[in-house]
Amino acid sequence: MPEDFGGYMLRRPTDGAALHVHIDDTTLRDGEQTAGVVFANEEKIRIAKLLDEVGVYQIEAGIPTMGGDEKEAVAHIAAMDLNCSILAWNRAVISDVQASLDCGVDAVAISMSSSDIHIEHKLRQSREWVLECVKQTVAFAKDHNVYVSVNAEDASRSDMEFLLSFARTARDAGADRLRFCDTLGILDPFNTFMKIKTVIDVVGIDVEMHTHNDFGMATANAIAGIKAGARFVNTTVNGLGERAGNAALEEVVMALKYIESIDLGLRTDKFRELSEYVAAASDRPIPTWKPIVGANLFVYEAENRASVCLTDPDSYEIFPPEAVGLQRRFVLGKYSGADTLRLKLAENGIAIGEAESAAFVTRMRSKAVALKRSLFDEELVDLYYAETGSVDEEVADAAREGRDLLEDACADTVGIISEVGDEA
């Protein structure tokens, strides 16, 4: 055990070269396996184009052995001459791999369960049978000159010794990488790190992270795997996927860039566009609080933050909204103040002074409380014109009261001076 955490820091090349991490996006396969989600072929093609424009390294396009529309879509995507690699998913069955080869893909994923609970209850087979199937299908795929990823399904619940044998078998048969699948999303980043580091150190094979979000740690676990040496990450747009979904493409890429200083060179400014299209195609709206691409990410209401962001956005923003295709906005609600109020009114062609804005703020806040939300611009303008008379009166009254107080203070001062003079 190292004396400090230095031994567990992200391993980077010593020659100054960039650390190569590749995105293999599975929105079109695992994303579509979200219960109730179906992409039309035209939508799958459009999503593939957008992913390619964003710059992902590889697209997992689907499962050709399903035949019909699915095989047709994969073949179409493979023939589109995109810049990225096109990978198809298969069971560890030679006929599955042949269906993928028929589509013209340049890479195949061969998936096989590696946990005893799956081997015994799902496959009803033995560990030996599992290894033999992996060996045969990998050899068949490599004979046809395609890139091969072997997916260790339920790897996070697998016996480590058997998982290492599984990885060795895949490697020795010619597999290019091992996909470590946290199928049920049961890992935390610390366990993920140790498991991935063990596989890489012992077997010496490239590892791809495939993490699920059942406990909200898919993105964290994916990054933990990268810290341990994994060079590939399976992602989905918006975190689509079975149950609680997968590691979200936009979260992984931006976390790597701004937290780990690993820039994958992707067009992150297209993330919101991509997310919106996938959300519409999947009929799964983007929550306003969604990390990275959520509509609320750059929306400010609280005055102590809004007023600062008007002059120095870096105080509350790690990256600018343009970096992910969003815009900075200010809304007026219960926690807004005079600075934001004057800004919003100015955007609507209304200029007011400090005294008027201070009087108007209380009315605006009361309206927001009554509506239980922030005000739309039209509501703000309507409220301004409805209340401008009473605001003017309040400001005038305050001014008169201020003059009266000043006069009283002056009179008191004169009286004191007179008394002092008499005593002198």
Integer-rounded Cα Rg, in Å, for the chain is 30
pLDDT digits (tens, 9 = 90+) for 316-372: 999 999 999 999 999 999 999 999 999 999 999 999 988 888 889 999 999 999 999
What was the pLDDT predicted at 393? 87
**pLDDT tier at 414, thresholds 50, 70, 90:** very low
Contact 21, 264 (CB under 8 A): yes
**pLDDT tier at 286, thresholds 50, 70, 90:** very high
Residue 132's contacts (CB-CB under 8 Å, 6 or more residues apart) are none
State whether residue 329 is helix, strand or coil: strand
Name the packing angle between helices 271-282 and 249-258 (round to 10°): 160
Find the Cα–Cα–Cα–Cα dihedral 265, 267, 268, 271, rounded to 10°: -140
Structural tokens at position 222: 């994916």
Which sign, positive or negative, has the C-alpha torsion 186, 189, 190, 195?
positive
Cα distance between the two ends of the chain? 86
Burial category of 152 from C-beta neighbours within 10 Å (exposed 0-12, middle 13-18, buried 19 and up): buried
Query: Looking at the predicted structure, is the pLDDT value of residue 382 above 90?
Result: yes
Whole-number Cα distances in Å, 341 to 128, 156, 352, 358: 70, 52, 9, 9
| Backbone angles phi and psi of 248, in degrees to 5 | -80, 135
Q: What is the mean pLDDT of residues 241-254?
A: 98
Contact 38, 44 (CB under 8 A): no
Q: What is the mean pLDDT of residues 234-238?
A: 98
Map 86-122 to HEC letters.
EEEEEECCHHHHHHHHHCCCCEEEEEEECCHHHHHHH
Query: Looking at the predicted structure, is the pLDDT value of residue 103 above 60?
Result: yes
**pLDDT tier at 399, thresholds 50, 70, 90:** confident
Q: What is the mean pLDDT of residues 203-212?
A: 98
Residue 170's contacts (CB-CB under 8 Å, 6 or more residues apart) are 134, 138, 150, 178, 205
Q: Tokens 């052995």 appear where?
A: 65
Structural domains in the chain plus CATH codes:
19-282 (3.20.20.70), 299-404 (no CATH)
Cα(342)–Cα(360) distance, rounded to whole angstroms? 10
Contact 380, 348 (CB under 8 A): yes
Percent of the chain clearing pLDDT 90 (strictly above): 83
pLDDT digits (tens, 9 = 90+) for 50-85: 999 999 999 999 999 999 999 999 999 999 999 999
